[in-house]
């Protein structure tokens, strides 16, 4: 019975956050069209209201650890579910994503993503995508903000392992910017797929900065090591593995 109630609450929660996305998108649209500040304000409003709803509707509390960056940096994060997108973005003043090209055609998300300076890339053509990604980022470097990239390129459930893609390293090398790694445990409560949401404390943690200037290989090794190690520790702390037994 308890599981059934949680499932129903999860369904209602998902319906509410997407309805809220539409409402926020419409309300902020005039401001967003004339100013990027309006787009950032809309995104922050929706992310924070979603986190609030998650807390009292499905029992997912959210916690941000470490110091979110405010300057021009690359934010390279682990990606376990939609919740880490929400939490990371809510923590940054001017976040912009490397995102799938298909998302620009998504209602609300597409227009706001472009207004915020997100960079759409075609993941189906890896070499061309990386070159285009770097060119687009460099072309838009005048727009201040924190460039968010998911280092594995896709959502990775807690029990799965995927290699880190070279895109984060190439951006680090070409842009000559510091990189802030981000570890997460959100997949323990908000899965990559499915409806059920599990109560608990979802954590994202901004880790110590990797300074600009390292070699590509050293950067990639350090990034993967610190993010994977800390994400695993956060999963253990969350009790995820105990619940899987």
Q: Going along 37-177, which residue ranges are E strands?
A: 60-65, 74-77, 95-100, 119-121, 146-150
- Each residue's pLDDT, cut to its tens digit, for the chain (245 residues) gives 889 999 999 999 999 999 999 999 999 999 999 999 999 999 999 999 999 999 999 999 999 999 999 988 999 999 999 999 999 999 999 998 877 777 777 778 888 888 888 877 776 555 555 666 667 666 665 566 899 999 998 899 998 889 999 889 988 988 889 999 999 999 999 999 899 999 999 999 999 999 999 999 999 999 999 999 999 999 999 999 888 87
Place of tokens 């599981």: 3
34 inside domain: no
11 belongs to a structural domain: no
Residue 145 CB neighbours (<10 A): 22
Domain count, the chain: 1
Q: In this structure, is residue 210 part of a structural domain?
A: yes
36 assigned to some structural domain: no
**20, part of any domain:** no
Tell me if 48 is assigned to some domain: no
Tell whether 14 is covered by a domain: no
Contact 166, 151 (CB under 8 A): no
Residues 6+ apart with CB under 8 A from 68: 91, 92, 206
Contact 62, 215 (CB under 8 A): no
Residue 7 lies in a domain: no
Q: Assign residue 199 the CATH number of its domain.
A: 3.40.1130.10
Distance CA 113, CA 118 (A): 5
**Which residue range is the domain that position 240 belongs to?**
60-244
Triad 165, 100, 131: Cα angle to 5°: 55
């Amino acid at each position: 019975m308890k599981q059934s109630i949680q499932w129903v609450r999860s369904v209602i929660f998902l319906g509410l956050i997407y309805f809220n996305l539409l409402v926020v998108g419409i309300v902020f649209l005039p401001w967003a069209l004339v100013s990027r500040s309006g787009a950032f304000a809309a995104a922050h409003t929706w992310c924070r209201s979603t986190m609030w709803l998650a807390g009292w509707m499905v029992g997912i509390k959210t916690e941000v650890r470490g110091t979110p960056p405010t300057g021009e940096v690359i934010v390279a994060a682990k990606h376990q579910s939609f919740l880490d997108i929400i939490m990371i973005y809510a923590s940054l003043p001017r976040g912009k994503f490397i995102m799938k090209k298909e998302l620009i055609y998504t209602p609300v998300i597409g227009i706001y993503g472009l207004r915020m300076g997100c960079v759409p890339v075609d993941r189906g053509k890896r070499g061309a995508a990386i070159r285009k990604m770097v060119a687009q980022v460099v072309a838009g470097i005048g727009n201040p903000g924190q460039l968010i990239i998911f280092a594995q390129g896709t959502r990775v459930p807690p029990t799965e392992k995927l290699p880190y893609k070279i895109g984060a390293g190439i951006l680090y090398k070409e842009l000559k910017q510091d990189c802030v790694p981000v570890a997460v445990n959100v997949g323990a409560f908000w899965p990559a797929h499915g409806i059920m949401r599990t109560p608990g404390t979802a954590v994202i943690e901004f880790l110590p900065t990797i300074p600009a200037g390292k070699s590509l290989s050293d950067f990639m090794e350090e990034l993967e090591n610190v993010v994977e190690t800390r994400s695993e520790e956060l999963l253990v702390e969350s009790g995820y593995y105990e619940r899987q037994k």
